[in-house]
Chain A
Amino acid sequence: MFDRRLVQYFDWGLMGLAILIGCVGLITLYSAVTAETPAPQKVLFFKQLLWFSVGLIAMVSAFLFNYKILDRWAQPIYFGCIALLLAVLFFGKYVGGSRRWLIIGPVSLQPSELVKIAVIIALARYYSKDAKTSGYTLRELVRPFMIIMLPVLLIGMQPDLGTAGLVVLIAGSITVFVKIERRSFIYLIGSGAVVVPLIWFFLKEYQKQRILTFLDPDRDPLGAGYHIIQSKIAIGSGMLSGKGFLKGTQNALSFLPEEHTDFIFSVLAEEWGFLGSVTLVLLFLILIIWGLNVAHACREPFGTILAVGVTAMIFWQALINIGMSMGLLPVVGVPLPFVSYGGSSVLTTAISIGLLLNVSMRRFMLD
């Protein structure tokens, strides 16, 4: 019953890589929460440690079964996550102007994190059915469009525009990967070029201001613009070899907002310098190429698309989070996988790695 080859083909390298990134993340988080003012919040570190153990279990569970049954489970998983998103809108905890968390006993869960995986599975199922090299026409894209927009709207209503945008990016990457038919693609681009200025025209002045500030944080020197400056100072002041573990000063002064979530990269870059930050960036790059390699080695479409989707998720989060910290991209609350504090994020990333391992270790199986 148990196939020996499963062990033989197990991707130890991928798991090792994930654990390595997790360790870098924990060390950085420790530094961030220790320096937190006015009072250190070490409890966050231990909570994260707990979430990593939960994540480990989730990762193992995600590769034990044959991923192909996800093809059948795609719908229940998808609608289960939609139900959670609806629950958030009605019963979610209200923090700082939005509802993002569901409180279940002692645990607070962010369903918008989990929904990313559900969307990836649902799209993998749809796109793996009868893909053609000519790509998908507009008519064929109506269903995936609905699959994507339902959770995006629900997340947008929380409102959590960062995560909603992230879902669009991930789903868009998968769709571009399976190819959009050339003429349809031109239509899409063309209609986008018409609709976007039209929407802009109908926006209210303050909404325009908000979007402009989002694109150019310098317009908000007391808010996002200031955070970016502080983040850049933190990163830059790390210089080549960094100030040393727990020696960061920008971090210590709570000049960095959300330093244990959104701006965690700055903490690492300040304390470990160029050497440290390049290491983390390269680890992520290796992880992404590894993930694409898993997709490459897989010999059937569902597994390939699943692997590409999960990798795209990690890619976009790493790119946006690190790019934002360095002032390359707008300020959005996107967690750095395995590094930022947050149970749901750790859980989601762990499941993704588990799915990659799953696809990887069953690459020999041909039905």
Chain B
Amino acid sequence: MVPHRSQTLMDKYLKTADTDWYKQRITGVIVCALAAFVVLLIRLIVLQVIMGDEYRHLSLNNSIRLQSIDPPRGRLYDRNGDLLVDNRPSFDVNITLKDAAPLDPTLDKLALHLKTPADTLLSQIKQTRGVSAYSPLLLQQDVGRDTLASIEVNKFDLPGVSVNVNLRRHYIRERQAAHLIGYLSEISPAELKSGSYPDCRSGDLIGKFGAEKVYENSLRGKRGGRQVEVNANGLVVRILKTVAAEPGHNVYLTIDQNLQHRAEALLEGVVGAAVAVEPATGKILTLASSPAFDQNSFVGGITREQWKSLISNPFRPMSNRAIQGEYPPGSTYKIITALAGLQEGVIDDKTVLHCPGHYRFGNRIYRCWKRGGHGKVDIIKAVEESCDVFFYQVGQRLGVDRLAWYAKAFGLGSPTGVHLDHEAHGLIPTAAWKKRRTGVPWQKGETLSIAIGQGFNLATPIQMAVLAAAVANGGHRYRPLILDNIKLVDGQSLQKNEPKLIGKLPVSPAHLELVKLGLWKVVNGENGTARGSRLADIDISGKTGTSQVISRKQDESMAEEDLPVHLRSHAWFVAYAPSEKPTIAVAVVIEHGEHGSGAAAPIAKEMIKAFLRKTPVNAQVAAQKESADTANGG
């Protein structure tokens, strides 16, 4: 029943849809469906009948292929723009199985060029599974120019074989800042599945450690590719479309390459770490851990044996001691005890305590490191000469929990937040902690050990460096930074890293100045424990530390030198310089180095010297002054 023209408008609007009306609309739908399918049919005719020949030809040897273009990975520089990590070209020999057929004669010929038995090549091919016969398969990396030339000349004789130029990571100075910079390695199936590396494919190299890992997303760049047409031999005859690769961003680290190099040279042959920080910003100038590993050995794929020997090495070269090494801070901890004591009012600048060389507490005797005692000691002398008896009493007056509160406020016991993986926490014990951990209540005598940095206390070199920087700059704790800037390839700055204040030392400026005077005397005073490390032209302030590996009472009679190496104490030195307006703060730890003054302080001194006497003129003047000084002083 089609609505009739003569019906009123009103009727037309109120009309209920009935079967006939639906039928009419279905006719319209059928027409639409037919029209759409006619388009499909026409397209089929165009593709299969009219252009069929052309497409059949293209399909014969699957001539349209994709080749990927790897992006150059971003470079790493130090704070002065000195290149640390670069890419260098490597000539890699690939084979595309489908084009190489018949495989055996091709491999036989290729074997002559590569000077590798054909059987080896074949087994190599068989090992790589799951690769399409149409994508190139890597046979040999980094072949020499002669091999390259001989393959290129004979390439018509070697179907399916291609030599590609790829970029390989190149760490310019072997082992330099290895733990900080890190290394690359092949992406694991788990990492591929994790979704954190959306652009990566199996076989890609990604940063696995250090800055290479942390800044992976900036460094990687974006893969490009091209659609090409190839002939029957697999040679490209036409490039159809290209998407250029986007190079990764360049990363500028905060470290100073020269200082890093100096620190590593100084740590050569010992086990330990050295960290240097810029007090005003928290930027890390040096982060060295010894022994180190060779990053370049990871680039071409490390063998199982090489990895095993790295992992099983008793000196653990893969461990970054600067942020992962946890050591009792020893006497360097007295900086905290001193400031806590002053701030809490249990001592003041006039407090004088007597040190007879030991301190009786309960029925036990706690020794001072100096057998004969220090006599009358005030706070400055206590710091200068590192008098244990003085600090036993300060610690006793404070109690373990108040001391722990200060230590935590100074940044110990928790990671500094440096942008590197696996930073250790260290440990600052409280009475509650010990009860929870061991079930045994806190013994009052243990507080005495804690007050001089022994016992349960543990700190990492980077924590101590940040602490020294905070003391140096008047109490500001900055997060240690390893990243200075990320720049685009054209030099445009992308992400400038700004200093980040993470806390303030809870002490008054007057107290801080008092302790800083003591720290100055450590190096420059008559009886300073690190007097041997003073410089003529640069005032250094610092604190030595000797952290016992075994508790002293058992071996009281034994001299350090007579102990087996693994039981000897660790040597610490934290310092900053110049004392008046510090521009560098350093923490050095030498495992089993025995004494802070003997093993650690000289390294810190040399680092400070290298950093502050940058220009050759300054260095000369200083050297002259120094020799004159030694002549005078004897």
Contact = CB atoms under 8 A, between A and B. Distances in A.
Interface in A311-342: 315, 319, 322-323, 326, 328
Given A226-B66, A236-B55, A236-B56, A296 B44 contact: no
Contact of B52 (A38, A236, A308, A328): A236
B132 interface: yes
B48 A299 contact: no
Given A229-B227, A236-B56, A237-B59, A254 B132 contact: yes
B133 A253 contact: yes
Interface string B219-251: 000001111000000000000111100000000
A233 B33 contact: no
A132 B15 CA distance: 6
Given A134-B12, A237-B56, A292-B26, 8 more contacts: A38-B130, A38-B131, A221-B227, A236-B51, A236-B54, A253-B62, A285-B33, A301-B22
A52 B35 CA distance: 31
B33 A229 contact: no
A299 B271 CA distance: 92
A322 B40 contact: yes
Interface stretch (A19-27, A157-165, A273-281): A273-281
B58 interface: yes
B243 A221 contact: yes
B53 interface: yes
B34 A285 contact: yes
B48 A131 contact: no
A236 B48 contact: yes
B127 interface: no
Nearest to A135: B17
Contacts of B12: 133-134
A237 B40 contact: no
Contacts of A108: none
B617 interface: no
* The 10 A-B residue pairs with the shortest CB-CB distance in the complex, in nearest-first order: A236-B55, A237-B59, A131-B17, A239-B52, A221-B241, A274-B48, A222-B225, A237-B56, A236-B47, A237-B55
Given A233-B59, A240-B49, A255-B62, A301 B40 contact: no
26 contacts: A130-B16, A133-B3, A133-B16, A134-B12, A178-B17, A179-B17, A179-B25, A221-B241, A222-B224, A226-B227, A230-B64, A233-B58, A233-B64, A238-B52, A253-B134, A269-B44, A270-B59, A274-B48, A274-B52, A281-B37, A285-B33, A308-B26, A319-B40, A326-B40, A326-B43, A328-B43
A278 B44 contact: yes
Contacts of B53: 239
B241 A281 contact: no
A323 B225 CA distance: 27
A225 B55 CA distance: 16
Contacts of A273: 48
Contacts of B19: 299-300, 304
A295 interface: yes
A177 interface: yes
A250 interface: yes
A91 to B, nearest CB: 18
Contacts of B41: 278, 281
B227 A255 contact: no
A299 B299 CA distance: 75
Given A132-B16, A250-B59, A304 B40 contact: no
A97 interface: yes
A289 interface: yes
B631 interface: no
A230 B241 CA distance: 14
A184 interface: no
Given A239-B49, A308-B26, A315-B33, A249 B62 contact: yes
A40 to B, nearest CB: 13
B36 interface: yes
Contacts of A278: 41, 44
Chain A contact-residue range equals: 35 or more
Contacts of A179: 17, 25
A225 B44 CA distance: 19
Nearest to B195: A97
Contacts of A133: 3, 12, 15-17, 21
A240 B45 CA distance: 9
A158 to B, nearest CB: 15
B558 interface: no
A255 B33 contact: no
Contacts of A254: 132
Contacts of A226: 64, 66, 227
B39 interface: yes
B132 A253 contact: yes
A109 interface: no
Contact of B64 (A229, A301, A308): A229
B241 A295 contact: no
A132 B66 contact: no
A240 to B, nearest CB: 6
B601 to A, nearest CB: 55
A287 B294 CA distance: 69
A167 interface: no
Nearest to B198: A97
Interface string B233-276: 00000001111000000000000000000000000000000000
A322 B30 CA distance: 19
Interface in A220-255: 221-222, 225-226, 229-230, 232-240, 249-250, 253-255
A308 B39 CA distance: 21
A249 B13 CA distance: 60
Contacts of A249: 59-60, 62
A232 B59 CA distance: 10
B583 to A, nearest CB: 44
